[in-house]
Structure 1
Amino acid sequence: MKSAVFTIPIKKWQKSAKRGVGNIRVAILKSRLMPKKIKMQRINWHKIALKKHLKDVFSSGITYAILALVFLLWRFALGYQFEWQSIEPFQQPSIFIRVFYSAFTFLTLGYLLYIAYFYKVLHDILVKSMGLWSLYNGIKAIVWAFLMFVSYQYIVPWLFSVLNAGVSILFNIANLVLYALPPVGISLVLSVIYFLLKNENRKTS
């Protein structure tokens, strides 16, 4: 009677074992890096929030600018005379987008108070000297709400008005070139429209 002999492919088993160990090491490394990633996101929350909402603002503003340029060509084709026009493609975010104004305040007025040691002095007086944590937190909340109100009511509108004024100047320069040198103006406007459309499609893709 013949005995059966079973062979084990040792090399393949060693390769699979090494591959398994490598996968385990990668998983452990990812698990170690994950808290750091979350921590960095928490540290940079203001930058992430501003980038997200400003991206939406500029996306809608680009669409507005494209339509304004198309309307400009349409007016020129119909024979309208040159007129200085004021456009406002970029609109201030709504007050209900609290995270935007909180992030904006954190990077502007809040940072100014921080480098002026306002919170440190307040903490030393109320907490270290008197132990009044609740009063300290209450004053901080009131100050923060006031800073956000100032940002919404004055600073952000001023920044958007300056931005829209600059865009209006560029728009009217193109308008003037269109009427003064029609071939150059038409080429310029069409080139700007193409550039804006291409840039917008690149962002959405």
Structure 2
Amino acid sequence: MTPEEASVFTEKLCRTAPVIPVLVVEEAATAGDLAQALVAGGLPVLEVTLRTPAALDVIREMAKVEGGIVGAGTVLTRADAVAAKEAGAQFAVAPGATDKLLDACEEIGLPILPGAATSSEAMKLLERGYRVQKFFPAEANGGAPALKAIGAPLPQILFCPTGGVSPGNAMDYLSLPNTACVGGSWVAPKDKVQAGDWAGIEALAAEAAKLG
């Protein structure tokens, strides 16, 4: 898969819904119900971060949910990319980008949304063919004003800002022409997941789906 092909895929993903849930899931047993609640609420694109021992099993379970498009987040290495794809991930998300990671994803045919924090990083990815990128960490890097400023000289790059994005500032990003969607964890709060409050999570997803 070429970077250009990956960008076509990731742009379609980012335009599917205004918010991509960023999920840190501790137990695979809750994965199916959580995915169903988010999809039912109107957020079909799900990013399962590889930050817990259960992450790959979570991806396997969520990949079974009808209507869901499940990817792996916090993909840092070739091994991460291979394991994620084998578990059923349809895409990868990374906080940054290295040549080894990009090489791996291209070789195994796993579309990646690579991260950039500066104009130079964004330009390097664009030079390689990645015109759809993750802006991370968004709030720590200056938030929506910084992303707007980057977009002035680089209007051809489309971003998914993640990191500190919340219901209170999501529209600041979504109103920018270079933002396709945002990534956020607020739609699946830990307390609601632990309580099995799937109706509550579906309601949060429905609210987020109306943004943009």
TM-score range, shorter chain: under 0.3
Mark the structure with the bigger radius of gyration: 1
Compare the two structures and name the one with the higher strand fraction: 2
TM-score of the aligned structures, taking structure 1 as reference length: 0.20
- Provide TM-score, normalisation by structure 2: 0.20
Greater per-residue helix proportion: 1
